[in-house]
């Protein structure tokens, strides 16, 4: 096994995750088998209980692992399926050490998951952070134990430009590399983040003071879209430098990134767009819905469109907002009315729920394409029960534990005392109840689909009968046929709610069928697409 370690310096948020993913893409294009590991130096055992406001979205894996959003980048870029073992946290290590100590079974065994030629390891945070010190030492020991030809360290650093001087400054990177060397790790390559391409004299200066050959100094400057990053690395012969360090030049093939080139150029040349209203709770940080944004991007590109996402804070749609913040209220409603489609993503807690219900009602009554994901599906059930069934107090146990009309309930197997890893998580089968529904047609009429879940509430089975009598159809259910997974409103052009998260399995070249249908419906092309799809065109 060969190891490529990606570290970061100077500041956080440089794009280490995208850089690590892009390195994996280029190595995979050279014919190598690549896997990825993300090290997060925090005390949480996983990302499940972290705030989306602070940490971005929680990405869910097939095996139910709740992990950092960077693993979502790895899966999308490398087109691989990872497991919870691909995410290492300080908390997970502490928990494992304590459990083993209690059992007395320190047997020194190593578990290896699958055959890979290269493992790309991303160390979260920046060099010098006190919480990452144990990992730095462990990685130093790893580099020594596996040998020089099996370990390649790539340090991602910032090359700022001071507005007054206009000169690319290398000193922050010099200090960062010096600190890394003091900890026993010497970078073989530098990946320099900058707004503009690096000047030759900047490269020479970095080479001289950081002891890195000029040919091994890669420049990752700002680009129109992130699909250009693997191309940047390839065009600078970054793959050659890595392969040379790892002694893989003899078995690697020249990189083939034609698909990536086509994808990046296609996106750059798109002119038409579609307006999508994203009504959520965490709109202040777009990373909170990163996979949804990426899934919309994949679907839009398949339709030769650019996504134009209008972020709407759900609370701004509520009646209370009209009194407290009238301008924000008016702007939110104007944005909603100008959108071609409405999406309500997942979330937890009761803040903004009334606004989401109003958005679902607006989309239902005005025949606007609507996609509700997880909480978004539950919202559509609550809204329909209130509006169509006259159940004014219809609610979820999550928002009102004492509600008389409990249309969404806490799942029997859930835990009321522990929050972490107590939800229904990971890939589960959803069985279609009818082949005539839009969702089944979009997926190609299979018997079932495998999608990832992350929820602890579900639609109350006791109200399914009355809801279906009034026109809301539950076209997808779990293997027991008692848990509702997909709802549709047949009288509506596209009104779909899903309990699972289809965004987690969307890929650049294989968009999620639901997101594709959503965008097609927004542009009036869904019916033609389904007809062609059914006829095998």
Active site positions, annotated = 374, 501, 503
Q: What is the DSSP letter of 62?
A: T
Write down the residue that tokens 């900058």 correspond to.
Answer: 194
Name which of 414, 384, 423, 378 is nearest 399 in CA terms.
378
**Given strand 457-459, what is the order of strands in its sheet?**
395-396, 406-410, 457-459
For the record, the structure tokens of 140 come out as 């130093």
The answer for 352, left when phi > 0, alpha when psi is -120 to 50, beta otherwise, is: left
Q: Across 54-188, where does the E strand assignment appear?
A: 59-60, 66-67, 87-89, 118-123, 151-158
CB count in 10 Å sphere of residue 234: 22
For the record, the structure tokens of 69 come out as 């959003």
Name which of 5, 8, 9 is nearest 172 in CA terms.
9
Question: What phi and psi, each to the nearest 5 degrees, are found at residue 282?
Answer: -110, 40
Name which of 341, 374, 404, 6 is nearest 180 in CA terms.
6
- Residue 425 to residue 398: CA distance in whole angstroms: 18
CB count in 10 Å sphere of residue 158: 18
| Strand duo 424-432 + 448-455: pairing | antiparallel
Name which of 73, 96, 136, 46 is nearest 421 in CA terms.
46
Q: Which residues contact 390 (CB under 8 A, 6 or more apart)?
A: none
For the record, the structure tokens of 518 come out as 């959503």
- Residue 205 to residue 201: CA distance in whole angstroms: 6
């Amino acid at each position: 096994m060969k190891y490529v370690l990606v570290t970061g310096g100077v500041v956080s948020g440089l794009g280490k995750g995208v850089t690590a993913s892009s390195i994996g893409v280029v190595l995979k294009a050279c014919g190598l088998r690549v896997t990825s590991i993300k090290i997060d130096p925090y005390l949480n055992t996983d990302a499940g209980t972290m705030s989306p406001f602070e940490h971005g979205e929680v990405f869910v894996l097939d095996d139910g692992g709740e992990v950092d959003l960077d693993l979502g980048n790895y899966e999308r870029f490398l087109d691989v399926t990872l497991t919870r073992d691909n995410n290492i946290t300080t908390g997970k290590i502490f928990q494992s050490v304590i459990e083993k100590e209690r059992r007395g079974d320190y047997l020194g065994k190593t578990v290896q998951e699958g055959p890979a030629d290269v493992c790309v390891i991303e160390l979260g945070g920046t060099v010098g952070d006190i919480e990452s010190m144990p990992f730095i030492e462990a990685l130093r020991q790893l580099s020594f134990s596996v040998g020089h030809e099996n370990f390649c360290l790539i340090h991602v650093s910032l090359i700022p430009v001071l507005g007054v001087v206009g000169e690319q400054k290398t000193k922050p990177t010099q200090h960062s590399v010096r600190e890394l060397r003091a900890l026993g790790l010497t970078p073989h390559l530098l990946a320099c983040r900058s707004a503009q391409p690096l000047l030759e004299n900047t490269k020479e200066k970095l080479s001289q003071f950081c002891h890195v050959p000029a040919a091994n100094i890669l420049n990752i400057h700002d680009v129109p879209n992130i699909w250009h990053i693997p191309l940047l690395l390839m065009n600078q012969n970054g793959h050659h430098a890595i392969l040379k360090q790892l002694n893989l030049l003899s078995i690697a093939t020249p990189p083939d990134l034609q698909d990536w080139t086509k994808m990046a150029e296609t996106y750059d040349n798109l002119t038409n767009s579609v307006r999508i209203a994203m009504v959520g709770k965490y709109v202040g940080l777009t990373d909170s819905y990163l996979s949804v944004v990426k899934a919309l991007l994949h679907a839009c590109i398949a339709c030769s469109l650019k996504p134009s996402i209008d972020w709407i804070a759900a609370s701004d749609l509520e009646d209370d907002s009209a009194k407290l913040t009238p301008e924000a209220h008016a702007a939110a409603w104007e944005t909603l009315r100008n959108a071609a489609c409405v999406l309500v993503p997942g979330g937890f807690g009761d803040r903004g729920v009334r606004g989401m219900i109003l958005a679902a009602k607006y989309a239902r009554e005005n025949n606007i394409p609507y996609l509700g994901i997880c909480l978004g599906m539950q919202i559509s059930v609550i809204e329909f029960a209130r509006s169509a069934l006259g159940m004014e107090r219809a609610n979820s146990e999550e928002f009102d534990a004492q509600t008389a009309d409990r249309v969404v309930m806490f799942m029997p197997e859930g835990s009321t005392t522990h929050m972490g890893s107590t939800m229904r998580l990971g890939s589960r089968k959803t069985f279609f109840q009818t082949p005539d529904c839009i969702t089944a047609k979009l997926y190609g009429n299979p018997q079932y689909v495998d999608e990832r879940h992350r929820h602890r509430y579900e639609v109350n089975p006791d109200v399914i009968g009355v809801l279906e009598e009034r026109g809301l159809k539950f076209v997808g259910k779990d293997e027991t046929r008692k848990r509702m997974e997909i709802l549709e409103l047949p009288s509506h052009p596209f009104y779909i709610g899903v309990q699972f998260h289809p965004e987690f399995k969307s890929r650049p070249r294989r968009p999620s069928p639901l997101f594709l249908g959503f965008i097609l419906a927004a542009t009036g092309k869904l019916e033609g697409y389904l007809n062609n799809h059914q006829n095998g065109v």
